[in-house]
Amino acid sequence: MIRSLIALVVAVAVAPHGVHAQTHPLAGDWSVSLASGMRIENGEQTIITQKGTMSVVIVGDSIIATLKMQPPEGMPARPASRLAAKLAAGKVVFTDKREATVSMNGEEQKVMSTSTFTFDPSGDVLAGTVSREIQGMGGMGGMGAQPITGARIKH
């Protein structure tokens, strides 16, 4: 009787997290396309778009995403981004702060970049936005919200 009661208590304690984790709409693997930066030439701004993959898992009370982008032609690969947010229903917002390299007039400099990703999954379709703020760049130091699109990768 005590063994059954202990098993029942453990099952009830674990079930809400396990069920929620399995049914969270962002969990899984995604093929994504998003704005990864901006090129400014002769005062004209051009958004750089990249494709990549994002793997999302639920760990305890957190949503953990690994975002790996394909490098633009002629550019080196960037390290994967590890994003984390508190587990919640609805849209998921991640913030990523990292060192970035900016090239201006042929000179490169290191700056801090803050990216805010908002994901709104619906079934096998992913929509959202990404915005970036680059410290120390004055009025040119940001990229307003740009669209993210994606589709679930079925294994």
Q: What is the pLDDT of residue 99?
A: 84
Q: How far apart are CA 85 and CA 20, in angstroms?
A: 15
Asked: is 2-152 a CATH 3.40.390 domain? The reply is no
At 37-76, the pLDDT tens digits run 777 777 777 888 899 999 999 999 999 999 999 987 787 8
Q: What are the backbone dihedrals phi and psi of residue 13, each rounded to the nearest 5 degrees, phi first?
A: -65, -35
- Residues found in the chain: 155
> Does residue 26 sit in helix, strand or coil?
coil
Contacts of 41 (CB under 8 A, 6+ apart): none
- Lowest-confidence segment of 19-28, 67-76, 122-131 by average pLDDT: 19-28
Whole-prediction pTM = 0.75
Q: How far apart are CA 64 and CA 124, in angstroms?
A: 18
